[in-house]
A and B are shown apart, each in its own frame.
Chain A
Amino acid sequence: RKEVEQDPGPFNVPEGATVAFNCTYSNSASQSFFWYRQDCRKEPKLLMSVYSSGNEDGRFTAQLNRASQYISLLIRDSKLSDSATYLCAVDPHSNYQLIWGAGTKLIIKP
């Protein structure tokens, strides 16, 4: 089992819809979790950190489910500009060595 796993997609979603995807992690002691967005041929950029209580930033909501060992990202009212690859990252040992998922590709269609 990989340490961090994501569905590679692609998720093809109509504009305005809500889309959610998960990222599972294997180390139950993991403390830090992040979602990044990567546009084609660009560097990954931090979308949001994931806190135990969950967090929301506009149309984006991230949640942590420790019992089932996954984090989720929910995008409401999706825009064409949300099309990108979404990477999750986990720090399983709290030593600043992030383990990365391979990414989920999201395509928003008009």
Chain B
Amino acid sequence: SQTIHQWPATLVQPVGSPLSLECTVEGTSNPNLYWYRQAAGRGLQLLFYSVGIGQISSEVPQNLSASRPQDRQFILSSKKLLLSDSGFYLCAWIDRRSYNSPLHFGNGTRLTVT
């Protein structure tokens, strides 16, 4: 069966520090991968998506970046965090081999920038 792992679960970082969040998917190949952010009490905001290794599309210009070094690995990074980067970060994947395939989320990372 397919699973998605995301870590860490919680993170407290000072303003100006770097960030690296990692996500891996198991049990599938060549998935679409996504990074979302959800601010407190708000909806889901798509940050990045990837259809393959090294292929990253950015939805929102900001100080975050994403990379996909391997087929089932997706990394979200920042060189210098801002207070506004605080939020709930969710990695997700879709199996493109199936029509009408739903999105599956990881457990999320709750980031607090202080």
How far does the alpha carbon of A41 sit from the alpha carbon of B89 in the complex, in Å? Answer: 11
**A68: interface (CB < 8 Å):** no
Known contacts A43-B90, A44-B44; A98/B105 CB under 8 A: no
A96 close to B100 (CB less than 8 A): no
Flag if B96 contacts A100 (CB, 8 Å): no
Q: A34-B102, A49-B102 are in contact. Are A43 and B44 (CB under 8 A)?
A: no
With known contacts A41-B110, A43-B90, A43-B108, A31–B100 Cβ distance under 8 A: yes
Contact between B103 and A98 (Cβ–Cβ < 8 Å)? yes
Q: Quick check: A102 and B43 within 8 Å, CB to CB?
A: yes
C-alpha gap A52/B104 in the complex (Å): 22
Q: Residue A53 at the B interface, CB < 8 A?
A: no
Task: Determine whether the beta carbon of A89 is less than 8 Å from that of B100.
Answer: no
A32 contacts B by Cβ under 8 Å:
yes
- Asked whether B100 lies within 8 Å of A32 as measured between CB atoms, the reply is yes
Chain A, 18-52, contact with B by CB distance < 8 Å: what is the 0/1 string? 00000000000001101000000111111001000
CB distance A46 to B44 under 8 Å? no
The contact size tier of chain A is 10 to 19
* Contact A96–B96 (Cβ < 8 Å): yes
Which residues of A are found within 8 Å of B35, using beta-carbon distances?
none
B105:A89 contact, CB within 8 angstroms: no
Complex CA distance for A101 and B96, rounded to whole angstroms: 22
Looking at the assembled complex, report how far the CB atom of A106 sits from the nearest CB atom of chain B, in whole angstroms: 15
**What chain B residues lie within 8 Å of A98 (beta carbons)?**
103
Is A87's beta carbon under 8 Å from chain B?
yes
A81: Cβ under 8 A from any B Cβ: no
A32-B100, A46-B102, A101-B43 known; A96+B94 contact, CB < 8 A: yes
The CA of A103 and the CA of B38, in the complex, are separated in Å by 12
Residues of chain A within 8 A (CB-CB) of B106 are 43
Residue of A nearest to B90 (CB): A43
